[in-house]
Amino acid sequence: MTKPKTISTDDILVMLCSSVRKVLSAATKTQISYSPMVQRITRTCLRPDIGCFVLFDGGFSGLVIMNFSAQSAMEIYRAYMISMGMPESELATQHTSEEVGNMLGELMNQIVGDFTGNVGHELQVCINQNQPKMLTINKEVMVSIDTNLDRAQSRRVAFSTARRNVFYMELAMDKTEFIKLHDFELEDVDPDRIVEDQARQNAALAADTQSLVDMALLDELGL
C-alpha cells in the first residue's frame, strides 16, 4: 500500500521562504536569495535594526519575524521606491524614517498574504493573518514575542540582497504534519480570468439595473 503523502513544518517553511524571495524580488526588481541551510533556534526575537512581525492562525498557528539591518532595509526601500517611480532626491536617508518602516510593513503584508494564499491552495486550509508590526530597535535591545504555541518549532533563514546585505526571516509554529488522505484537484488561479469574470458580473448587474429603470419609466408613461 502506498504511503500517504505528508507535508511537514519544514515543507511549510520552504513555502514561506519562496514567498519572501518572490515578493521582494518582484517589488525591488533585484535578486533576493536565501541560504539552503536552515538554523534551528529556541525562540524567535526582534533584532536590530528593524524588526517586523506578524501572527497568523486558522488551519495552523504561527509567527513570522523579519529582522533587517539598516543597510538591508535601506537597500530594499530605495530599490522598491525607485521601481515605483519615486525620484531619488525625495527618498528617506535614514533607516529610522517612518517611510522605511511603513514600506517594510507593506512588503511583509504582501509576503504573508502570498504565503497564506499558497498554503491555503496547497493544503486546502484557511489561514488568517493580522496586521504586521514594525519596531526600530537599538543594538542593545532584543524583544521576545510570546506565541502561546503548544509544541513550538522555531527556524531562522538568512536572506541576502543584490548587494549582499543580509537580513533574516524567523518562523515559529506548532510542530505539525498534514497527511493527504486522497487526491484532489488544485484549481489554477488566473488573475486575468478573475478580473474578466468580475467585469462580466458588473456589466450584467448594470444591464439588469437599466432594465428595471426602463420598466419603471414605461409604467410612469402608461406604455
Domains contained in the chain, number: 2
pLDDT of residue 187: 56
- Single-letter residue type at 84: M
* CA atoms within 13 A of residue 71's CA, in its CB half-sphere: 8
**pLDDT band per the 50, 70, 90 thresholds, residue 120:** confident
Average pLDDT over residues 88-102: 93
Distance CA(24)–CA(108), nearest Å, equals 9
Which helix H or strand E contains 105, and what residues bound it? helix 98-123
Distance CA(134)–CA(219), nearest Å, equals 60
Average pLDDT over residues 64-75: 96
The verdict on residue 184 lying in a domain is no
DSSP states of 115-130:
HHHHHHHHH---EEE-
Question: Is 122's pLDDT higher than 80?
Answer: yes
Per mean pLDDT, which range of 63-67, 70-74, 77-81, 152-156 is the poorest? 152-156
Question: Is 132's pLDDT higher than 50?
Answer: yes
165 & 205 share domain: no
Distance CA(174)–CA(133), nearest Å, equals 21
What average pLDDT does the structure give for the chain? 82
101 & 27 share domain: yes
Question: Is 205's pLDDT higher than 50?
Answer: no
Instruction: Please state the length of the chain.
Output: 223
The verdict on residue 166 lying in a domain is yes
71 & 141 share domain: yes
Q: Which residue has the higher pLDDT, 28 or 137?
A: 28
pLDDT of residue 218: 47
The verdict on residue 185 lying in a domain is no
73 & 140 share domain: yes
Question: Is 145's pLDDT higher than 90?
Answer: no
pLDDT of residue 8: 86
Q: Which residue has the higher pLDDT, 145 or 136?
A: 136
Backbone angles phi, psi at 19, to 5 degrees: -65, -40
136-155: b or e for each residue (b if 16 or more CB lie within 10 Å)?
bbeeeeeeebebebeebbbb
Q: What residues make up the domain containing 126?
A: 6-179
196 & 221 share domain: yes
Q: Characterise 58 by phi-psi region: left (phi > 0), alpha (psi -120 to 50), beta (else).
A: left
pLDDT of residue 129: 87
Among the candidates 144, 159, 179, a domain finishes at 179
100 & 10 share domain: yes
65 & 28 share domain: yes
86 & 150 share domain: yes
Using one digit for the tens of pLDDT, what is the confidence trace for 146-203?
A: 667 777 889 999 999 999 999 999 999 988 888 877 665 655 554 454 445 445 554 5
Please report, for residues 23, 117, 138, 188, 189, the alpha-carbon distance to residue 193 in angstroms, rounded to integers and kept in the order given: 22, 17, 47, 11, 8
101 & 19 share domain: yes
Check: CB of residue 119 under 8 Å from CB of residue 12.
Answer: yes
The verdict on residue 1 lying in a domain is no
Give the CATH number for residue 49.
3.40.1550.10
The verdict on residue 12 lying in a domain is yes
115 & 35 share domain: yes
79 & 127 share domain: yes
Check: CB of residue 147 under 8 Å from CB of residue 62.
Answer: yes
166 & 216 share domain: no
The verdict on residue 120 lying in a domain is yes
Residue with cell 533574516: 168
The verdict on residue 203 lying in a domain is yes
Per mean pLDDT, which range of 13-17, 25-29, 64-68, 216-220 is the poorest? 216-220
The verdict on residue 209 lying in a domain is yes
